[in-house]
Structure formats: structure tokens, C-alpha cells
């Protein structure tokens, strides 16, 4: 490894981080702030080492991947800062309403519960936690393989009806949104809404155990944390212990999942795996993905790796998934038995592999710019609408989606043909359903 390249990379990373936090608009901890913190630790911090392929046992600099990281850590903060300069008139959105129709919230919760129960009927013999508790599976390796199978290849490995294949949109995404709204009602009146909040929390956690993805519990905790900070207008500088409390909860949840469902034997090993997964593992496997890209597809996919919602099925369009192909190479014995998984990703690599460097960089800047613009204007709405449950719940959920988009690929937020992803769309539809419109005074 080259010492000068090492120094240059981390000086640039530090410089762009400092520039962002010096010039960001002060106030609420925002979507853009969360993106910068998450991408620093989960993407950029390990970029130098991932460019050498250390995660996969290599030690040779891949210039293409190194350039991906340099472009990413430079363009994202620039786009977020410039996008925040654009003001969009938001009066009409504020006037739509700030109250929640509780009867409609109950209806929405009931529909999700019915959907989850129907889904349970089809997967009851494959739920990792249920099999562990009933003693049907005790071998940690077998449990880990089942968790991977049910998480990544459920559609192909299990026979479920078409309408149940959108379980993540309904069970995971929608339940988090409902939970946040119920939590905000609980903060207003703990006596009245205590039972509802406890039931909703238990159901949300229970539904997430259907597949037991590590990230699910983390997203629940962080969404609750962000909504609490915004709703109570907490000054984090004066309440720094909140950071440590939420970090402790996240660590406990992650360590528990590693030890119960991933065959890890000790807390120390779990922490080591967490560090490697966070700093190197999130995008470390793109080294292998780039090899597949160059040797099998000539270095560029020309958009063939970009999924579109519903159109792919309608047009019988095959999507090239480099992440899954790399997984098949790295874990060939498991893949040969019908197992599957993914190897993470990195936004600039995703864009470059599909569109090349020039167009990929332009798209990266454009999406970062639009994200900064959306963020800044949502912050204005929150500031001008005191304790607006609908907007705060939306913003808390969006923080998670945008972070996911910027640490993996942008399909979590931006997706053709509807511009926004199905996750965002279903949350917006739910928001409109439970919103109480403001009545005109005239």
C-alpha cells in the first residue's frame, strides 16, 4: 500500500467533512447531517483499504474503485450544501394538515396486522426466531443460513402469493411510520396512549422478526430517537448522553442478533465483526463486483443493473445484480446449494457501473443536490409547524431511507418510473390517508 495515497485520501476525507459541517445550515440534526455521518463511517472511512481489496484477501490498488470513493466523498457534501440553498414554497404543504385522524390510524394499523397474519400463515415454518424458540433448530450455522435464505431469496425459495411479496413495504416500512405517530401521541398523553404504544411497539418488533434482518431493529430505534428529538425540540449539545443511550441500545441489539442468529460465540467476536462489517464490509465487496463487471460485462452495464418498479416484470426485463453475482463467487459452496445473498454496495460504484464516470458523477451530484433541497425545505416545514406529528413522523422515517440510499444505492429513495421508490410512495399514501386536513376559516 502507498503511504502518499493513504495520506492524500484521508486528508481529503477530513477536509470535505469539515467543509460540510462548517457551511451547513445550523439547527435541526437533518437528513443531510445523517447522510454525512453515515457515509463517513460506513462508506468513506474504509475506502482506501477497500480499494486494495483487503476485505477479500487482495492487496492491489484498483484505480477505478479508488476513484469511485474520491468522487463520492467530494461530490456528496458539495451537492447537499448547494441543494440546501434552494428554497421551495412550502405553504401549500403546511396547509394540508397537521393533525392525525386517529380512527384512520387505527384502520391502517388493523390492515397491516391482517396482512402480517396472512403472511405469517405462509412462512410460519421458516421464521428463524420461532424455530429457535420451539427448539426445531439449535445449530447456529443452520440458523444463520436460514436467516440468509429467508432474507435474500425468499421469492425464489418459498411459494407465496404475489400480493405478499411486498411484505417489506407493508410490514417493515409502514409499521415504523405508524409506530412513530403512536409514539408522538404517547409523548403528548402517556396515560391515554400507553397501551396503544406498547402494543404497536411489540407488533413492530414481532413483524420484523419474520426475517430478522440486523438493520430492522436499528432503524426502529433510530426512528424513535429522531422523532423524539424533533418533537421535544431537544438540544443535543446539552443532552449529549442521549447519543450514548441510543448507541448502547443499538449495540446490545446487534450483539444479540450476531450471537443468536449468526453463529458468533462471544461479545468480543461480535464487536469485531460489527467493526469489520461497518467500516470495511458495507462496500468492501465491490472489489469483486468490479472484477465481475470488467471480465463479464466489459466494464459497463449501460443501465442493465438499474431496477424499475413493476416495469421489470411487465417487460420481462432481466436485471444484472453484481452484488449477488459476487456473492455467488465468494460463497460458491453455499450458492451451489441454492442459497443466496448480497455483498453490499456503494452508490458511486453503482452509478459508474451502469452509466460510466461522467454521467455517473453528474447523476451523483444531481441526486445529492435534490436531497439537500428536499431536506432544507422539510426542515422549514418542521420549524414553522409546531409539533406537527405528520411531518415529524415523515421526516424521521425519511432520515432512514436517505441514509440507506447513500450507503448502498439510490433505489431506496429515487426509482423509475415514479421518481420515488415504492417505500417512499407507500409512506406518502399512508400519510395522506391518516392526515386531518386543516379547515378553512372562511
pLDDT tens per residue across span 18-64: 999 999 988 778 999 999 999 998 899 999 999 998 878 888 999 99
Q: Of the given ranges (71-80, 331-340, 420-429), which has the lowest mean pLDDT?
A: 331-340
Answer yes or no: pTM beyond 0.75: yes
Region class of 402: left (phi > 0), else alpha (psi between -120 and 50), else beta: alpha
Summarize the confidence of residues 295-309 as an average pLDDT: 91
Main-chain dihedrals φ then ψ at residue 390, nearest 5 degrees: -60, -50
In the predicted structure, residue 234 carries a pLDDT above the cut 90? no
pLDDT tens per residue across span 95-147: 545 578 899 999 999 999 999 898 888 877 777 767 777 777 766 666 666 66
Q: Packing angle between helix 63-83 and helix 3-23, nearest 10 degrees? A: 10
pLDDT of residue 280: 60
In the predicted structure, residue 157 carries a pLDDT above the cut 60? no
pLDDT of residue 442: 40
417 against 144, higher pLDDT: 417
pLDDT tens per residue across span 388-405: 888 899 999 999 999 999
**Distance in angstroms (rounded) separating the CA atoms of residues 60 and 68:** 16
pLDDT of residue 277: 66
State the residue for C-alpha cell 449468526.
262
Main-chain dihedrals φ then ψ at residue 268, nearest 5 degrees: -60, -45
Other Cβ atoms within 10 Å of 273 Cβ, number: 16
- How is residue 118 written as a grid cell? 396472512
Longest distance between any two alpha carbons in the chain, whole Å:
71
Residue 275 · residue 327 · CB < 8 Å: no
pLDDT of residue 340: 58
Q: Of the given ranges (9-18, 173-182, 209-218, 353-362), which has the lowest mean pLDDT?
A: 209-218
pLDDT of residue 440: 47
Cα atoms in the Cβ-side hemisphere of radius 13 Å centred on 86: 14
Amino acid at each position: 500500500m502507498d503511504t502518499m495515497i493513504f495520506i492524500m485520501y484521508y486528508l481529503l476525507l477530513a477536509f470535505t467533512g469539515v467543509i460540510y459541517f462548517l457551511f451547513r445550515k445550523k439547527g435541526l440534526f437533518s437528513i443531510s447531517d445523517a447522510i454525512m455521518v453515515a457515509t463517513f463511517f460506513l462508506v468513506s472511512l474504509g475506502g482506501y483499504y477497500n480499494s486494495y481489496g483487503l476485505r477479500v484477501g487482495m492487496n492491489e490498488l484498483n484505480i477505478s474503485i479508488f476513484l469511485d470513493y474520491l468522487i463520492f466523498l467530494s461530490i456528496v457534501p458539495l451537492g447537499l450544501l448547494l441543494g440546501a440553498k434552494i428554497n421551495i414554497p412550502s405553504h401549500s404543504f403546511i396547509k394540508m394538515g397537521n393533525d392525525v385522524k386517529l380512527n384512520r390510524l387505527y384502520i391502517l394499523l388493523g390492515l397491516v396486522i391482517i396482512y402480517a397474519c396472512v403472511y405469517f400463515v405462509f412462512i410460519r415454518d421458516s421464521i428463524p426466531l420461532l424455530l429457535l424458540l420451539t427448539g426445531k433448530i439449535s445449530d447456529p450455522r443452520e440458523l444463520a443460513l436460514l436467516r440468509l435464505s429467508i432474507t435474500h431469496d425468499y421469492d425464489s425459495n418459498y411459494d407465496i402469493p404475489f400480493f405478499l411479496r411486498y411484505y417489506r413495504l407493508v410490514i417493515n416500512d409502514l409499521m415504523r411510520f405508524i409506530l412513530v405517530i403512536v409514539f408522538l401521541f404517547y409523548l403528548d398523553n402517556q396515560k391515554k396512549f400507553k397501551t396503544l404504544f406498547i402494543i404497536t411497539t411489540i407488533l413492530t418488533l414481532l413483524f420484523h422478526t419474520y426475517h430478522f434482518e440486523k438493520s430492522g431493529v436499528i432503524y426502529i430505534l433510530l426512528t424513535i430517537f429522531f422523532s423524539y428529538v424533533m418533537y421535544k425540540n431537544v438540544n443535543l449539545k446539552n443532552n449529549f448522553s442521549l447519543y450514548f443511550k441510543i448507541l448502547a441500545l443499538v449495540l446490545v441489539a446487534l450483539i444479540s442478533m450476531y450471537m443468536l442468529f449468526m453463529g458468533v460465540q462471544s461479545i468480543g467476536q461480535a464487536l469485531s465483526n460489527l467493526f469489520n462489517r461497518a467500516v470495511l464490509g458495507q462496500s468492501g465487496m465491490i472489489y469483486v463486483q468490479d472484477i465481475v463487471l470488467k471480465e463479464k460485462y466489459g466494464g459497463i452495464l449501460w443501465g442493465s443493473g438499474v431496477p424499475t418498479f413493476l416495469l421489470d416484470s411487465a417487460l420481462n426485463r432481466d436485471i444484472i445484480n453484481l452484488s449477488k453475482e459476487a456473492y455467488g463467487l465468494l460463497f460458491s459452496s453455499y450458492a451451489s446449494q441454492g442459497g443466496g445473498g448480497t455483498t453490499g454496495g456503494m452508490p458511486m460504484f453503482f452509478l459508474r457501473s451502469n452509466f460510466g464516470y461522467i454521467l455517473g458523477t453528474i447523476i451523483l451530484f444531481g441526486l445529492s443536490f435534490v436531497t439537500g433541497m428536499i431536506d432544507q425545505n422539510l426542515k422549514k416545514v418542521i420549524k414553522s409547524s409546531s409539533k406537527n406529528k405528520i411531518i415529524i413522523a415523515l421526516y424521521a422515517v425519511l432520515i432512514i431511507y436517505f441514509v440507506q440510499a447513500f450507503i448502498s444505492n439510490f433505489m431506496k429513495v429515487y426509482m423509475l418510473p415514479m421518481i420515488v421508490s415504492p417505500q417512499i410512495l407507500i409512506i406518502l399514501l399512508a400519510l395522506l390517508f391518516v392526515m386531518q386536513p386543516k379547515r378553512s376559516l372562511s
